[in-house]
Chains A and B, each alone.
Chain A
């Protein structure tokens, strides 16, 4: 019996460790590559550490010659303003759906759920034309405004807010609290877990988005990190692979850091079934 347990454990850990190698190696390759010369990355003589040690010259080159710092700042502005606005509007909407029994609530909520199932990509060409009319092409507005009050976020926040007892809200109302103050002072602090989960999803979605920025952003000064990185890779000949790896690292590390800080809550949020 003991032997059987041991064998099962070895088999399970074997599977898990193969998974770890497959999932971590590309990250290792990317980060180490950012300290290497092109020849060391592409050569068949792969080395596990950069031959000349760890120097930041690729990162310095990235910021000095291709203005990658600008792209990082742009993406930070877009992703954080979108995240803050979206968290505000989604939690406000989720609060109204969870805690008010207003006429037409069920009908309006059903409509909201239906919009989640409609693939919006069908209208992407018209969305582009709309941005053109609004003179929003080559600005950050198309990346921030359209999705700030989205069905998914409202739905998720409604789930979280529903679990807050009604008595708390009734008590506050008897004390003469306005609806907005109830939201601001009672609801928001109690759903911080949900806000973190949703905030990570929003930030990640905007930071990593590629298709929509590719369509609406043209000029180099407005590039997000994804666009800047793609452009760096797409120049064709004379690619500096070390610099590309440094760009890919800069593009991934902020999210990985945010994720590591909040990962317990994020994974707990998914595991608690918030996504169904």
Chain B
């Protein structure tokens, strides 16, 4: 009887199952299947011809590959140049915009969010012209102020330049998310604290900060994933160079797969990236989740 009745239940809701089925079908074909297939592929050598089983050979080669370690180091530096500044600046701007002294909030929000709407290719192109070392406007501006020009695209600074472009694009969006967090704090909390005699500093540290921490964490994790997947901006601005100095995992994967056509090797890199993203998000979650 219970089996029969649960079948009847399922039949009763058949349109609901029908409505959600596209997601599961498409995820099965275009999401889950490629993941499993890539995992199997990562244990083989494959360049369009026959598959050759190599066990963990690709992974071993990867860890012996100097470029892998350069890219990992670059990614760490990108993370430092990207996540703390973007979260910090976005938080400051959100606090400023949330202030009662500021009028025309909508106009400011709109202007700050425009870079997020613009394509990374267009942004990358405009900035690589602005940052051009001899003919770009930024160095021209510095020279006219009597300062020396900065070698923006040199080995030592290429990562900073890429990070500036990426941060420019994403600060507004993060600011909007943090602003949403600030505006969701119930006003009663502030009133109650004021009545209890808390000063502004206490209100900030005891109410505002704990209540926006989850949003900051969300922003930080999104930016972390972004710094692992960095592709378009460095691809346009520096092509990963000079001499791998701005290489990212995205460019590395693209070059292995579609320049050298070593698909098994690229699949193993894809999985190492997958695990690294997981670890990085997990660590941040551990650090930033407050324990009371």
Chain A interface residues toward B at CB < 8 A: 5, 8-9, 12-13, 15-16, 19-20, 22-24, 26-27, 29-30, 33, 41-44, 46, 89, 92-93, 95-97, 100, 102-103, 108, 112, 115, 118-130, 145-151, 154, 178-180, 183, 204, 207-208, 210-211, 214-215, 225-226, 229-230, 233, 241, 244-245, 248-249, 251-252, 255-256, 259-260, 263-264, 267, 270-273, 275-276
B15 within 8 A of A: yes
Please give the residue numbers on chain B whose beta carbons come within 8 Å of chain A beta carbons, in ascending order: 6, 9-10, 13, 15-17, 19-20, 22-27, 29-31, 33-35, 37-38, 41, 92-93, 96-97, 99, 101-102, 106, 108-115, 117-123, 125-127, 129-130, 132, 135-137, 140, 143-144, 168, 172, 176-177, 179-180, 183-184, 214-215, 218, 225, 228-229, 231-232, 235-236, 250, 253-254, 257-258, 263, 266-267, 270-271, 273-274, 277-278
Q: Known contacts A128-B257, A273-B184: does B125 contact A233 (CB below 8 Å)?
A: yes
Contacts A100-B16, A130-B33, A148-B22 known; A46 to B119 CB distance under 8 Å? no
Complex contacts, B38 vs chain A, CB 8 Å: 122-126
- Cα of A27 to Cα of B116 in the assembled complex, Å: 12
Nearest Cβ in chain B — how far from A134, in angstroms? 10
Task: Say whether A251 contacts B266, CB under 8 Å.
Answer: no
B140 touches A15 (CB 8 A): no
CA distance A40 to B136 in the complex (A): 11
Most buried by B among A43, A123, A129, A233: A123
Separation of A256 and B24 alpha carbons in the complex (Å): 34
A-B contact pairs, 21 of them (CB 8 A): A9-B102, A12-B102, A23-B172, A30-B122, A92-B19, A121-B250, A121-B270, A122-B271, A123-B37, A124-B270, A126-B267, A146-B29, A149-B25, A150-B23, A233-B125, A233-B236, A248-B121, A260-B110, A264-B106, A267-B110, A276-B214
Cβ contact of B135, chosen from A43, A115, A230, A267, cutoff 8 A = A43
Q: Closest Cβ of chain B: how far from A173's Cβ, in Å?
A: 11
| CB neighbours of B117 from chain A (8 A) | 204, 252, 255-256, 259
Residue of chain A at shortest CB distance from B26 = A149
Given A230-B236, A267-B106: 6 more A-B contacts, CB < 8 Å: A16-B93, A121-B250, A125-B253, A151-B27, A154-B20, A241-B129
Check B35–A15 contact: CB distance below 8 A.
Answer: no
Q: Is the CB of A46 within 8 A of B137?
A: yes
Q: Which residues of B contact A276 (CB under 8 A)?
A: 214-215, 218
Q: Point out which of B38, B129, B132, B253 has the most chain A C-beta atoms below 10 A from its C-beta.
A: B129
Q: How far is the CB of B48 from chain A (nearest CB, A)?
A: 10
A15 in contact with B119 given A8-B101, A148-B22 (CB within 8 Å): no
Residue in chain B with minimal CB distance to A233 = B125
Closest 6 CB pairs of A and B: A123-B34, A102-B13, A146-B30, A126-B34, A122-B274, A149-B22
CB <8 Å contact, B108 and A19 = yes
Nearest CB in chain B: distance from A176 CB, A: 14
A249 to B119 CA separation, bound complex (whole angstroms): 10
A4 to nearest B CB, angstroms? Answer: 11
Q: Are A119 and B9 neighbours in the complex by a CB distance under 8 Å?
A: no
